[in-house]
């Protein structure tokens, strides 16, 4: 017998012997009167965790609207088993609460830092919630209130200036007041930007110091003027005010007003409805002088906005006095009836733009009449 044959026989005998021993051991454990081998025991924690909150309210007091404020929420495990507390939830992105660990032994305390950011908040009292979920069977959810009274670093009154409707050639004024939180506050420079900035004047009137709620503060007043040379239409701009407080160096205040002209069109907006491709459309409008002064109409044009491929063009129109006797024997005309001819469109789709009436009224040489409508193709085989 070769050595290779001897090794093969011995290996087979060893495997058979191992299987026999394992089988014998299993049979012995299952045999009557034979005790099984001991198994490792799983230890279950006895007792109950208890979430003990030190205070249900965190009051941050009076804070400025430029500075986040922080407080501490304290709780302890008042039970006799491990307390588990995941990351808490907050009711607002302005409030954050963080925990460094989430399991606490009996008697262990935890301090949770909570931070409230008042940026963009209105002055006054604010309240947010921080909610904890726990494995305490009696307190599975616990909410803590976080309160603060937000005080503006600089009070702006008004926050935006709306001068409303102003007659043409009329001057209108109003005040902006900036009140700082210190006695040394001052606004010292102002600029205006925007399409209508040239028609607004702003003058710094001065700064006064006075007592407010037991503290000395300062207020700067600014005079805003919409000038009488502002043309009819909407005037708007942005005022940028520079202060000596490094925490809020620049303050912006929107300015707006509507200058009412002398020339009025009825209707103020026109809906053309549905037009057919290639067909002209006639519309009648009335145009009057608000102070019954005579004026002339020198032309009408179409300024399309949609489709954008269309260029401005003069259009056909007829004009007659609203007053049948006006114009006769040299009588002045202060109102007209216009028949406008909307040229046919070559493509279907939405249309919008302005009819522009040319007049000889100062500052109202171009009077806009917005229009909207839709063009459809009703020709055979068009698919419409």
**Domain extents for the chain?**
51-151, 154-260, 263-376
Question: φ, ψ for residue 329 (rounded to 5)?
Answer: 55, 35
Residue pair 72/47 in contact by the 8 Å Cβ criterion: no
On the question of a common fold for 51-151 and 154-260, the answer reads yes
Residue pair 103/87 in contact by the 8 Å Cβ criterion: no
Residue 17 has a pLDDT of 42
Please report the DSSP string for 82-103 in residue order: -EE----EESSTTEEEE-S--E
Q: Looking at domain 51-151, which of 2.170.8.10, 3.40.430.10, 2.60.40.10, 3.30.70.100 is its CATH number?
A: 2.60.40.10
d(CA 230, CA 221) in angstroms, rounded, equals: 24
Residue 18 has a pLDDT of 47
Reference 365, options 263, 235, 260, 259; nearest CA is 263
Phi-psi region of 47 (alpha: psi -120 to 50; beta: other; left: phi over 0): left
User: Yes or no: is domain 263-376 CATH 3.30.465.10?
Assistant: no
Q: Write a three-state SS string for 110-165.
A: EEEEEEECCCCCCCEEEEEEEEEECCCCCCCEEEEEEEEEEECCEEEECCCEEEEE
Q: Per-residue pLDDT for the chain (384 aa), expressed as one digit of tens each? A: 544 444 444 444 444 444 444 444 444 455 555 555 555 554 566 899 999 999 999 999 999 999 999 999 999 999 999 999 999 999 989 999 989 999 999 999 999 999 999 998 999 999 999 999 999 999 999 999 999 999 999 999 999 999 999 999 999 999 999 999 999 999 999 999 998 999 999 999 999 999 998 899 999 999 999 999 999 999 999 999 999 999 999 999 999 999 999 999 999 999 999 989 989 999 999 999 988 899 999 999 999 998 888 889 888 999 999 887 766 665 678 999 999 998 888 889 999 999 999 999 999 999 999 999 999 988 755 554
Q: What is the three-class DSSP state of 307? A: coil
Which numeric CATH code is attached to 154-260? 2.60.40.10
């Amino acid at each position: 017998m070769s050595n290779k044959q001897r090794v093969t026989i011995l290996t087979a005998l060893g495997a058979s012997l191992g299987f026999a021993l394992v089988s014998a051991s299993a049979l012995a454990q299952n045999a009557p009167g034979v005790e099984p081998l001991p198994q490792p025991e799983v230890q279950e924690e006895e007792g109950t965790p208890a979430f003990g909150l030190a205070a249900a309210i965190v009051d941050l007091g009076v804070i400025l609207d430029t500075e986040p404020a922080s407080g501490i929420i304290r709780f302890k495990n008042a039970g006799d088993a491990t307390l588990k507390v995941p990351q808490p939830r907050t009711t607002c992105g302005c409030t954050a609460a963080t925990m460094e660990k989430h399991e606490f032994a009996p008697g262990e305390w935890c301090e949770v830092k909570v931070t409230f950011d008042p940026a963009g908040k209105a002055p006054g009292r604010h309240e947010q919630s921080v909610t904890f979920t726990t494995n305490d069977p009696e307190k599975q959810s616990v909410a803590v209130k976080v309160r603060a009274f937000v005080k503006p670093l600089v009070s702006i009154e008004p926050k935006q200036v709306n001068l409303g409707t102003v007659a043409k050639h009329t001057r209108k004024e109003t005040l902006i007041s900036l009140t700082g939180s210190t006695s040394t506050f001052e606004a010292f420079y102002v600029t205006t930007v925007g399409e209508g900035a040239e028609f607004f004047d702003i003058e710094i009137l001065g700064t006064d110091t006075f007592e407010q709620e037991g503290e000395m503060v300062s207020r700067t007043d600014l005079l805003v003027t919409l000038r009488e040379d502002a043309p009819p239409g909407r005037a708007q701009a942005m005022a940028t005010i520079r202060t000596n407080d490094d925490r809020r160096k620049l303050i912006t205040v929107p300015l707006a007003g509507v200058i009412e002209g002398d020339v009025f069109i009825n209707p103020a907006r026109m809906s053309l409805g549905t037009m057919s491709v290639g067909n002209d459309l006639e519309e009648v409008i009335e145009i009057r002088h608000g102070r019954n002064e005579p004026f002339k109409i020198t032309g009408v044009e179409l300024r399309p906005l949609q489709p954008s491929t269309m260029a401005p063009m003069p259009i056909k129109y007829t004009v007659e006095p609203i007053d049948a006797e006006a114009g006769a024997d040299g009588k002045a005309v202060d109102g007209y009836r216009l028949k406008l001819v909307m040229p046919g469109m070559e493509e279907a789709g939405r249309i919008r733009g302005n009819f522009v009436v040319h007049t000889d009224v100062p500052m109202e040489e171009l009077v806009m009449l917005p229009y909207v409508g839709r063009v459809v193709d009703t020709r055979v085989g068009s698919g419409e």
